[in-house]
Structure 1
Amino acid sequence: MHASNLLAKAGVSSASAMVATGHPLAAAAAAALLSEGGSAVDAAIAADAVLGVVEPMATGIGGDLLAMLVPPNGAPETYNGTGRSPAALSPDGLAGLPGGKLPERHALTHTVPGAVQGWWDLHQRHGRAPWPRLFQAAIECARDGFAVAPVAAREWALFEPVIAADPVSARLYRAGAVPVAGERFSNPELAGVLAAVAADGPQAFYRGVPAQAAARASQSRGGVLAAADFAAHHGHFDVPLRARFRGLDVLECPPNTHGLAVLHALEALEPLPLDPGDPATTVAMVDRMGEALAHAKRVVADPAGNTVCTVVVDASGLAITLMSSVFKRFGSGVGVAGCGFALQNRGFGFSAPGHINGLAPSKRPYHTVVPGAALRDGRFHAGFGVVGGAMQPQGHVQLLTRIAAWGEPLQAAIDAPRWRLEADRALATETGMPAAVVQALRAAGYREPDGLGELGGRSDFGGAQVVLRQADGTLLGGSDRRKDGLALAC
Structure 2
Amino acid sequence: MDSSETHAGIGVRSATAMVATGHPLAARAAQDMLAAGGSAVDAAIAADAILGVVEPMATGIGGDLLAMLVEPDGHAISYNGSGRSPAALSAEVIEKLPNQRIPERHALSVTVPGAVRGWFDLHARYGRLPFAQLLAPAIALAEHGFAVLPITAREWAVFEPVIKRDPACAKLYRAGNTPRAGERFANPELAAILRAIVADGPDAFYLGAPARQAAAANQAQGGVLAAQDFARHHGDFVLPLERKFRGLTVLECPPNTHGVAVLDALEELDVLALDRDDPATTLAMVEAVGRAMAQAKKTVADPAGNTVATVVVDRDGLAVTLMTSVFKRFGSGIAVPDCGFVLQNRGSGFSEPGHVNGPAPARRPYHTVVPGAALKDGRFHAGFGVVGGAMQPQGHVQLLVRLAAWGEKLQAAIDAPRWRLEGDKALAIEPGTADAVVKTLREAGYSDPEGAGELAGRSDFGGAQFVVRDDDGSLLGGSDKRKDGVALGA
- Structure-1 residue corresponding to 2:257: 257
Q: How does 1:213-224 map to 2 (within 5 A)?
A: 213-224=213-224
Instruction: Note if 1:455 corresponds to 2:455.
Output: yes
- Kindly provide the CA deviation profile for residues 100-153 of structure 1, in whole angstroms up to 9, marking residues without a partner as x: 322110100110000000000000000000111110000001000000011100
Equivalent residues of 1:336, 1:342 under 8 A apart? yes
Q: State the alpha-carbon separation in 2 of the partners of residues 78 and 95 from structure 1.
A: 35
Q: Secondary structure at the match of 1:84?
A: coil
- Kindly provide the CA deviation profile for residues 455-481 of structure 1, in whole angstroms up to 9, marking residues without a partner as x: 374000000000000011000000000
Cα distance, 1:305–1:181 mapped onto 2, change above 3 Å? farther
- Structure-2 residue corresponding to 1:374: 374
Q: How does 1:66-465 map to 2 (within 5 A)?
A: 66-304=66-304, 306-452=306-452, 454-455=454-455, 457-465=457-465
Q: Secondary structure at the match of 2:129?
A: coil
Q: State the alpha-carbon separation in 1 of the partners of residues 241 and 453 from structure 2.
A: 31
Equivalent residues of 2:305, 2:365 under 8 A apart? no
Q: Which residue identity is paired with 1:465?
A: Q
Q: State the alpha-carbon separation in 1 of the partners of residues 451 and 474 from structure 2.
A: 45
Q: State the alpha-carbon separation in 2 of the partners of residues 456 and 417 from structure 1.
A: 19
Q: Which residue identity is paired with 2:55?
A: E
- TM-score w.r.t. structure 2 length? 0.98
- Structure-2 residue corresponding to 1:44: 44
Q: State the aligned residue count.
A: 487
Q: Which residue identity is paired with 2:397?
A: V
Q: Which residue identity is paired with 1:244?
A: K
Q: State the alpha-carbon separation in 2 of the partners of residues 106 and 270 from structure 1.
A: 41
Equivalent residues of 1:145, 1:187 under 8 A apart? yes
Between 259-268 and 94-103, report the one with greater CA deviation: 94-103
- Kindly provide the CA deviation profile for residues 17-68 of structure 1, in whole angstroms up to 9, marking residues without a partner as x: 0000000010011011101000000000000000000000000000000000
Q: State the alpha-carbon separation in 1 of the partners of residues 46 and 435 from structure 2.
A: 42
Q: State the alpha-carbon separation in 2 of the partners of residues 438 and 409 from structure 1.
A: 23
- Structure-2 residue corresponding to 1:15: 15
Q: State the alpha-carbon separation in 2 of the partners of residues 456 and 423 from structure 1.
A: 17
Q: Secondary structure at the match of 1:50?
A: helix
- Kindly provide the CA deviation profile for residues 230-264 of structure 1, in whole angstroms up to 9, marking residues without a partner as x: 00000010001000000000000000000000000
- Structure-2 residue corresponding to 1:64: 64
Q: Which residue identity is paired with 2:42?
A: D
Q: State the alpha-carbon separation in 2 of the partners of residues 448 and 259 from structure 1.
A: 26
Q: State the alpha-carbon separation in 1 of the partners of residues 109 and 180 from structure 2.
A: 30
Q: State the alpha-carbon separation in 2 of the partners of residues 84 and 96 from structure 1.
A: 21
Structure 2 unmatched runs, 5+: none
Q: State the alpha-carbon separation in 2 of the partners of residues 454 and 239 from structure 1.
A: 32
The CA deviation at 1:91 is 2.7
The CA deviation at 1:98 is 2.8
Q: State the alpha-carbon separation in 2 of the partners of residues 274 and 91 from structure 1.
A: 47
- Structure-2 residue corresponding to 1:32: 32
Equivalent residues of 2:453, 2:459 under 8 A apart? no
- Kindly provide the CA deviation profile for residues 210-234 of structure 1, in whole angstroms up to 9, marking residues without a partner as x: 0001000100010000000000000
- Kindly provide the CA deviation profile for residues 137-181 of structure 1, in whole angstroms up to 9, marking residues without a partner as x: 000010000000111001000100000111001000000000000
Equivalent residues of 2:74, 2:378 under 8 A apart? no
Moved over 3 A (4+): 453-457
Cα distance, 1:447–1:328 mapped onto 2, change above 3 Å? same
Q: State the alpha-carbon separation in 2 of the partners of residues 206 and 109 from structure 1.
A: 19
